[in-house]
Amino acid sequence: MPTLNRLNQLAQINLNPLAFGRGIERETLRVDRQGRIARTGHPEALGSALTHPSITTDYSEALLEFITGVHSTPKGALEELGLLHRFTAARLGDEQLWPASMPAILPGEAEIPIAQYGSSHIGRLKTVYRNGLWHRYGRTMQTIAGVHYNWSIPEHFWQAWVEQCGWQGSLQSFINEEYFGLIRGFRRHSWLLLYLFGASPAVDKSFAQGGRTDHLETLDEHTLYLPYATTLRMSKMGYSNAAQDSLYVCFNSLQTYTETLAEAIHTSYEPYESLGIKVGDDYRQINANVLQIENEYYSDLRPKRVTRSGEKPLRALNDRGVEYIEVRCLDVDPYAPYGIDETRMDFVDLFLFWCLVQDNEIVQREECFTLRDNNQKVAAYGRDPSLTLTIKGESVPLRDQGLRILDSIASIVQQTELLPASRAHYLALLDTQRQSLLNPELTPSARLLADIKEAGSFSAAALQQAQRHGPELQERADDKAKTEALERIALRSLEEQREIERQSTGEFDEFLASYQSQ
C-alpha cells in the first residue's frame, strides 16, 4: 500500500496519530567515586532485583535497570524515570550512577560481578543465563549499558484503523501485520538512529581484556577509540560472536520471526557444546544451542508481549500476538541526567510513525545481511564524510540518504493533522537533526569525543558528566509521597522473593527442562 494512501486512511479516522504509549528501560552501572565499577551486591534498600517492577539489574550485578510504566507523553515517562533515578541515587552511599553506555574502569575479568537473583528456580535460571553470556561473550560485555524505548499504539487507534482498512481477519492479526511492517521499515533505516544518537566512540583501556578492541586506536594513556565511531556499543564490540554473526532471524512476519528465532534456540552449536552445560553442580549455560533463550539475540528492535510468570517470550508472542515494540539501539545520552530526554523521544516517535506508514516490502535474506552491514559501518565509522551505505544494491553517501529520510519525515509532519504549535515543534526538531547530518561535529558521539580529549580520558570525562548530573539526582521535597510508596514496593518485593524461594520445590534440573520444553 503506498504511503500516501496509508496517510489518507489515518486522516479518515480522526484520531491523534501521535498518541502513542511510551515506556523507558534505562541501564546504568553503579560505580565508586573514582569511576570504578562497584563490586557490591544490589542494595537491599532498592528491593529485590528479581521481583521489583521498576528497579532491577541486568547482566552484571552492578548494572542497574530502571523500568517505567506506559505513558501517553514523553514528559510523563521522564517524570517517572527521574523519580526512580533520584530514589536510587539517595540510597547508593558512596556509589554513583555512570552516565555512559561503555563501562567504567573495570577490574580483572573474573572479578566483574554477574547478576544474582536468589535461590528460587526462576532466580537461578536468570543467573545461569548470565553465566552462559559470560562463557560465550566474556564478562566485560555484561557491563555495557543502553536505553530501551518501548513503544505501542493504543487499542482504540487500532480499532478505528482496522475498520478504515477493511481488514477481514482478527484485530490481533491486523496488529501483528502492522507492527511487522513497521519493523521492516525500521530495520532498513535504523542506522540513522545510530548516527544521530550514538554516544560511545571510545572506551576505557580496561575494557580491552574482553579481547574485542584490536581494531581500536589509542587516544590517550587510558582510552581507546575510533576517530569516526558513533556507537561502539552497537558495533562488533557488543554482544556479537561467530554464532550471532551468521545467525539469520527473519522479521517479515510474526510466523517467520518466531520460527527462525526458535530454530536458533533449538540448534546445537559445537563451540558451546565444548564449554559444557553443567560442570559438577554448577551450570555454565542453559544449553549449548546457538541461543540459550530468545533474549540472547541482540537485535536493534524486538516485537514484544508482556509475559506471564515463567513464560518464554516466544510463547507469549505466538499465543497472544505483538503488544508493543522495543527499540534497543539507543545509547545512553551522557548529557541527559536520566540517559534520555524529551527531544530524543520526540524524534524516535516521529521516526517510528514514519516507518509505520511506509510501504514496507518484504526483506529478502540477502538484504537482511546488507542491513546488518550498514549498521556496523555506521556504528564504527558513521562520522566519516566519505562513508557510503548500500541502499537497494547501490552505494549511497550516508549524508544524502539521511537527508532524504528527514525530508520524507518532514513531509509526513506537514500532511498529518497536528496543532500548528506541534507541527512547528516537530519541524524544528527535524531541522536540528538535519544540521547533525550536515555537520557531524554536532552529534553526541563527536561532542563526547571532544570532551574526552579535553578531560584527558574517557573515564575522566564521564566522571565530570556524572558530577554535573548530581543536582538533578537529588531527591526533591515533592518526591516525598512517591518515595514512601517506592520504599513500600521495595519491602514488598523482598518478601515476594522470599515467598517465591519458599515455593520453589523439586530439582532445578527438572524446572530447567520444563522451561526449555515450551
Q: Residues 238, 242, 247, CA angle at the centre, nearest 5°?
A: 90
Question: Where does 3-516 sit in CATH, by number?
Answer: 3.30.590.20
For the residues 147-151, what does the mean pLDDT come to?
A: 98
What is the tens place of the pLDDT at every residue in 162-199? Answer: 888 888 899 999 999 999 999 999 999 999 999 999 99
As a whole number, the mean pLDDT across the chain is 94
What is the tens place of the pLDDT at every residue in 5-35? Answer: 777 777 777 667 678 999 999 999 999 999 9
Cβ-contact 146, 330 below 8 angstroms: yes
The pLDDT value recorded for residue 19 is: 80
The b-or-e profile of 406-432 (16+ CB within 10 A means b, else e) is beebbebbeebebeeeeeeebeebbee
Distances from the Cα of 11 to the Cαs of 14, 82, 105, 347, 401, in angstroms?
6, 35, 52, 21, 28
| pTM greater than 0.75 | yes
Grid cell 533515578 in the structure block, residue: 85
Q: Which residues contact 510 (CB under 8 A, 6 or more apart)?
A: none
* Model confidence at 1: pLDDT above 60: no
Model confidence band, residue 3 (pLDDT cutoffs 50, 70, 90): low
Taking each helix axis from N to C end, the angle separating 342-357 and 171-189, rounded to the nearest 10 degrees, works out to 110
What is the tens place of the pLDDT at every residue in 220-235? Answer: 999 999 999 999 999 9
Q: Which amino acid is at 285?
A: Q
For the residues 248-275, what does the mean pLDDT come to?
A: 94
Question: Domain limits of the chain?
Answer: 3-516
Closest CA to 358 of 433, 422, 429, 408: 408
Distances from the Cα of 312 to the Cαs of 136, 318, 360, 384, 516, in angstroms?
21, 10, 29, 41, 9
What share of the chain in percent tops pLDDT 90? Answer: 84
